[in-house]
Structure 1
Amino acid sequence: MTVEQKLQDYILDNYKSIMQFAKVADLPYTTVKGIFNRGIWGTSIQNVIKICNTLSIDINALVNGEIKKDLHINQLTTHEKKLVVAYRNHPEHQYTIDTILHIDEDEDLIPTVKAARSKDNNQPIEVVNMPDLSKFTPDDSDL
């Protein structure tokens, strides 16, 4: 099954119609239908972002041909919020919890994505984590 078919099925599982989804996503109906016909790789990144945000799906997973629910911090359950509070209230246990859960302090919570279209629009694009460039500062000779 193609990523376009998976996306269309996911939309129809969550909305009454493609037209209803297009209205909610603030996209022209013809644009959404065109994605299913021409392929997602032929559309603009802005439209892909709108689609992913509206459906709350992970754009990185979509790039790999998967439909995966995206985690939004504001969608934490009551239990998850209690865990965060308990974690913050017990700094003496944070290292142990991080170790058990394999949490790397230097790892970004939200990975950055480098994306570009390939010559063959049906091929997935390469997704890589970008380094943190804030630690690099120009020296006086660069100014």
Structure 2
Amino acid sequence: MANSGDIEPAGVKLLIDATLKNFKEDYNRSAKDPDAGIYPHGKKWPTMALEAGYSESYEVLIDYTDLVLQGTQGRIGLVIVVKIEPLAPGETEIQNGFVQVYEYDQMLNRSVKRGRRKRLYPPPSNRSQLPEIHMEPSSPK
């Protein structure tokens, strides 16, 4: 984005290899190392986080998502979850993977799915056949 001129590099920072602490309420004794986070200059917490899992189950990734969204009470407002299914014996290529977006809903005071899952693997043979991504209004997970 910086190379294309869409953002000024000084305005956004990437969080990698950092541990988040001081979560709220039920999560106050927790700590989390998100796979990545993006935060605007001057903000203490990232506004968006990425959780990618290969060996972790989808349920564990959702637990991480709840910690990050609900434990910050919306200071981190969006988590992108990427789940890649581990290879089975004899497999050499990824067979299944998807992405799902979660956000913090201020009215419900919890994390909710945003839109539908987007299949990453297996990709279509013709990339032009990829469906468009349509973000839907929030719905409870």
What's the TM-score, normalizing by structure 2? 0.30
| Higher relative strand content | 2
Q: Tell which has more relative contact order, 1 or 2 (C-alpha 8 A, sep 6+).
A: 1
Specify the structure having the higher radius of gyration (Cα).
Answer: 1
| Higher relative helix content | 1
